[in-house]
Amino acid sequence: MSNMDMSNMDMDMGGGQMMHMGNLKRKFWVSLILTLPILLMSPMMGMQLPFQLIFHPWSDYLVALIGTVIFIYGGQPFFSGAKAELKNKKPAMMTLIAMGIGVAFVYSIYAVVANNIMHATPQVTDFFWELATLIDIMLLGHWIEMNTVMNAGSAVDNLAKLLPSTAHKLVNGETQDVAIADLVKDDHIQVRAGEKIPADGVIVSGNTSVNEAMVTGEARLVEKQTDAKVVGGSVNGEGTFEMRVTGTGETGYLAQVMKLVTDAQAAKSSQENMADRVAGLLFYAALTVSIVAFIVWLLVGNLALALSIAVTVLVIACPHALGLAIPLVVARSTAIAASHGLLIRNRDAMEQVKKLNYALMDKTGTLTAGNFKVAEYQSLEPQVKADDVLKIMASLENGSSHPLAVGILKAAKAKKLTAAEVTDSHQITGVGLSGTVAGQTYQIVSAAYLDRQKLAYDQATFNRLASAGNSVSFLVQDQQVLGYVAQGDQIKPESKNLIDSLKAQKITPVMLTGDNEQSAQVVAKQLGITEVHASLLPEDKAKLVQKYQADGSRVMMIGDGVNDAPSLARADIGVAIGSGTDVAIDSADIVLVKSNPNDVVEFLELARQTTRKMTQNLWWGAGYNVITIPLAAGILAPIGFILNPMVGAVVMSLSTVIVAINAMTLRLRK
C-alpha cells in the first residue's frame, strides 16, 4: 500500500466531480510560484509592506495579469466543484470558495480599471493578495487531504484475481484449455491438484479436499466427494476431479460477493463531512449578510461605499482556516495511526465512532489466530509414550497441508521429533488416514469413528477437550486406541481486552462466523460475548449488518476473509485484519497492520480525539467568519466602528495559525 503511486489518485471535489491527484499537485505548485510576484507587488488588504515592489501603473497591470492566470488555472477545480454542488442544490466548501475568489477577482479587476484608467478618488482597494493566497491554501488543503487517503487498490479487482484465467474443459473425453469467460453453465471441466477452481460447480467424479479459506475465512480443508458443491476461487487439494459448471460470470459466488461490495461502497459514498456542512451554512450567511449590507449602505451612504462593504464581507468569508481545518487534523491523525499499526483508508469512518452502537466481528483470524495449535497430546496405553503418539501421527501427516496436519507437524518439530518413513499411506474417506510406520499399520481417526466401531476411549477427557473448542484426533493400531492429539484455533491473547473495552464504551460486541455453533459458543463464552451468529454465508453477514443498522444504530465490522468483504463495506466502519485477504482489506475503512485486536481500541481512541480536534478546528475556522462578517458589514457602525480590511486579514491569518497548531497537538494517549 505504501508503494502506490499517489499521483494516480482521484478525489471527489464536490457533487461527484473528480480531481486527479497529479493535476491538483501541479496546480498548487504553479499557483504558488505565480503568487510570489503578487505578494511582492500587491498590498495585503491595502497595507503597504517594506519589501513590496510597486511601480505604478505597470505593477498593477502585471498583478492583474498574473492574478487572472491563477484565478482561471488554480481556481478551476473549485468552480467545477461549485457547479456540481449547486446542481445538486447542496452548496458547500466548493461553492463558498468559488464565491469568494469570484467576487475577489471581479472586484479586483474593477479596482485596477478604476484606479489606473478612471483615476477614481479615493482609490479602490483590490483583493489580488487574498485571491491568490486563498487559492493556494485551498489547493494545499485538498492535496494534503488526498495524500492521507490511502487507497490500496480495488476490492473488486482483487476478487477477480481469485479466479484462474483458464480452465480445463472436457470435450469428447479430452481436455482443452479455454478462458473462464468462455465457460457456460453445464460445461464439464477438470480441476487438477493444487489448482484454483475456475467456477462454481458440482463434482461429478473424483474425491478431494478443498481449501476454502480465501472464500470462507475459515482456515481448514473441506473434504469433497461426488455431488459435492465447490466454489470458484477456492483452491483444490491433492486430488484431481471433474465437475459440472453451475455458475459463471454474474451468477457465480464471487460475482455475487463483488456486487455486494460494490453496492455497499456506493451507498457509503454519499456521506457528507462536517467541513462541507459548515461551509454550506457560511455560504448562505455570507451571501445574505452581503446583500443586506449592500442595501443598507446604499440607503445610508452611496453606491461605491455599499459595493465596497458588500465585497469585503464576501472576501472575508473566504474560508482560509476552514479549508485547512480538516486536512491538517487528518494528516496528523494518519501519521499517528501509521506509527501504531493503523491504516486509515476512509477518514469519514472516524466520525462514526462517537455514535457507535455495535461491533460485529468475525471469529477465525480476527478473534482467534486462524491456525490450529496442539493444545494437548497423551498416550492412553502404558507401553506407548506420549511423544511416540505425536511422532507417529506426525509421520502419517507428513506432507499434508491440512490445517490439523500442519498443527501436528509444528508440534512435533518443536519437540524435535523426527518423522519416520511411511508406506501405504492413504486417506480413509470420512474417517481420517492410514499408513504403515516401521512395519506397523496405524490410523488417525475421529471420536465419531471410534463410536461407530465401538472402540473404548476416555470419553470424559474427550468431552473436556471438545467443550473447550478443540478438535481431537485419535491414534489407533489393531482396533486399540493408543493416544490422542487435541488442537484448536487459539484465541488471540488480546481479544479479551478488546471485548472488555468495547463493553466499557457501551458498544455491544457481536460474533459473526461461518464456523459451527458449538465452536463459536466456546470462543464467545471465553471472551464474554453474548450475541453470536454462526454458520453464516457472506450475504448473511451483510444482511446482519443491515439488520443492526435498521433502527439507526451505527455498526463497526471487523473481519479478514473474502466472506467478510460485503459486510466490511456495508458497515459504518469496516475494520480489516492486516493478515487477512486483500479483498477484505480493500473493502475496509481501517486496516490493522499488526493484526492485533487491541489496535481496535487504539483506533477508537484516536478517532474520538481526531473528531474532537476537527470540531475544535471548525469552530476556530468558522468562528473567525462568525465574528468578522458582521463587523465587516458594519454592524457596529452606529458606534463608529467598521472592520478595517487589514485587521480582517490579520485575524484571518491568526485563525489559520491557530488551526495548524491545534492540529499538531493531537496525541494518542497511552
In whole angstroms, give the CA distance from residue 85 to residue 90: 5
402-406: long-range pairs with CB below 8 Å, 24+: 402/209, 402/220, 402/221, 403/219, 403/220, 403/221, 403/371, 403/372, 404/220, 404/372, 404/471, 404/473, 404/487, 406/371, 406/372
Residue 576 forms beta bridges with which residues?
Answer: 559, 591
How big is the CA angle at 335 (ends 331 and 337), to the nearest 5 degrees? 115
**Identified catalytic residue from 60, 126, 187, 362:** 362
In whole angstroms, give the CA distance from residue 512 to residue 536: 7
In whole angstroms, give the CA distance from residue 653 to residue 404: 65
Provide the H-helix boundaries in 528-597: 538-549, 565-570, 582-587
CA 589 to chain centre: 2
E strand residue ranges, 166-220: 166-171, 174-179, 188-191, 200-205, 208-211
458 annotated active-site: no
Q: By 3-state DSSP, what share of the chain in percent is helix, strand and coil, each rounded to 5?
A: 55, 20, 30
In the numeric block, the cell 474425491 is attached to 207
In whole angstroms, give the CA distance from residue 483 to residue 388: 9
Sign of CA dihedral 159, 160, 164, 167: positive
Question: Which residues, at least 6 apart from 142, have a Cβ–Cβ distance to it below 8 Å?
Answer: 11, 13, 19, 24, 77, 327
CB 205 within 8 A of CB 189: no
Question: Which residues, at least 6 apart from 149, have a Cβ–Cβ distance to it below 8 Å?
Answer: 9, 11, 345, 346, 347
**373: enclosing H helix or E strand:** strand 368-379
CB 224 within 8 A of CB 243: no
Question: Which residues, at least 6 apart from 237, have a Cβ–Cβ distance to it below 8 Å?
Answer: 193, 194, 208, 209, 210, 211, 221, 401
In whole angstroms, give the CA distance from residue 460 to residue 380: 13
| Residues acting as catalytic residues | 362
